[in-house]
Amino acid sequence: MDRTTQGWIAGLIGVVIFSASLPATRVAVLDFDPVFLTVARATIAGLLAIALLRGFGAARPTRTDLPSLAIVALGVVVGFPLLTALALEHVTAAHSIVFIGLLPLATAIFAVLRGGERPRPAFWLFSGLGSALVVGFALAQGVAASPVGDLLMLAAVLVCGLGYAEGARLSRRLGGWQVISWALVLSLPVMALLSVITMPQTFIGIGVPAWIGLAYVSLFSMLIGFFFWYRGLAAGGIATVGQLQLLQPFFGFALAAGLLGEPVTTAMLAVTVAVIACVAGARRFAG
């Protein structure tokens, strides 16, 4: 199996893991303050990252790596989790799919600006069409909008796209799991302090679903998912593999159908097939 194919498989696993992030966050913010949720998930993941780095004897990043790690930390450790948690106080998880549909395009743009990639013109056609399909499908669901929530989600998409591209660029040298681990460690002192400051006075009344949501976003969304995602982006190409995020909403729908018994419509299947075609087209014209 060649390196590019390995990258696509790793990226796909990462997308599947991330597909449950927004629903888990939505459940968690019902009982947890969004700021506390953000810093707590980063603190938990940061402590686990220290254990991993020490256990595997990972090499320390150089001083020149620190600016890139800071961008990763601000983008995916702090920015995206905080902005989405705040947004999900105003909009539903379903409505957030509108903006997740724009994430592959944002990642591709930053792949050009930060990663030095130069996709062919046809790539942008397929990428834009895929994003339009996901956004159009989400809007067709008739979910209610909130200007505040929309602006927060748009900001989240931008900082996340930057964090993805920067982390993938650095992963080509350090390795995917090392990048997210060092970014978590870099942000740990501030995140741990804020966790103490923003901690609820009592945990009485915090429901089991909220604890499960916190556990998921801490372990999978903040740590394990990035092991696969950054490896996939670095091996298969940031702009190209990034298009797999177009499938993330549909994986979320599939999870809802399997776990919650929610129906899967013919329109949903049709749009999924069309999006897969766009991903395939973007891959073909990426370089």
Q: State the Cα–Cα distance between residues 73 and 241, nearest whole angstrom.
A: 21
Q: With b meaning 16 or more CB within 10 Å and e meaning fewer, what string describes 220-235?
A: bbbbbbbbbbbbbbbb
Residue 144 is predicted with a pLDDT of 55
Q: State the Cα–Cα distance between residues 157 and 134, nearest whole angstrom.
A: 14
Residue 196 is predicted with a pLDDT of 95
Closest CA to 101 of 128, 127, 135: 135
Residue 33 burial by Cβ neighbours in a 10 Å radius (0-12, 13-18, 19+): middle
Q: What value does the mean pLDDT take over residues 146-170?
A: 88
DSSP string, the chain: --HHHHHHHHHHHHHHHHTTHHHHHHHHTTTS-HHHHHHHHHHHHHHHHHHHHHHTTPPPPPGGGHHHHHHHIIIIIIIHHHHHHHHTTTS-HHHHHHHHTTHHHHHHHHHHHTT-----HHHHHHHHHHHHHHHHHHHHTT----HHHHHHHHHHHHHHHHHHHHHHHHHHHH-HHHHHHHHHHHHHHHHHHHHHHH--S--TT--HHHHHHHHHIIIIIIIIHHHHHHHHHHHH-HHHHGGGGGGHHHHHHHHHHHHH-----HHHHHHHHHHHHHHHHHHHT--
Q: Are 21 and 219 in contact (CB under 8 A)?
A: no
Q: Are 44 and 135 in contact (CB under 8 A)?
A: no
For 239-282, the pLDDT digits (tens) are 888 888 878 777 766 766 665 565 666 776 787 778 778 777 77
**Rounded to the nearest 10 degrees, how much is the dihedral formed by the CA atoms of 149, 150, 153, 154?**
-150
Q: State the Cα–Cα distance between residues 287 and 278, nearest whole angstrom.
A: 15
Q: Does residue 221 surpass a pLDDT of 80?
A: yes
Domain of residue 215 covers 3-284
Residue 245 is predicted with a pLDDT of 82
Residue 83 is predicted with a pLDDT of 92
Q: State the Cα–Cα distance between residues 97 and 87, nearest whole angstrom.
A: 12
**In the numeric block, which tokens belong to residue 215?**
């556990």
Q: What is the largest CA-CA distance in the chain?
A: 55
214: confidence class by pLDDT, cuts 50, 70, 90: very high
**In the numeric block, which tokens belong to residue 187?**
């942000």
The more confidently predicted of residues 139 and 113 is 113
**Pick from 12-16, 17-21, 216-220, 243-247: least confident:** 243-247
Q: Are 106 and 159 in contact (CB under 8 A)?
A: no
Count up the domains in the chain and report the number.
1
pTM of structure: 0.84
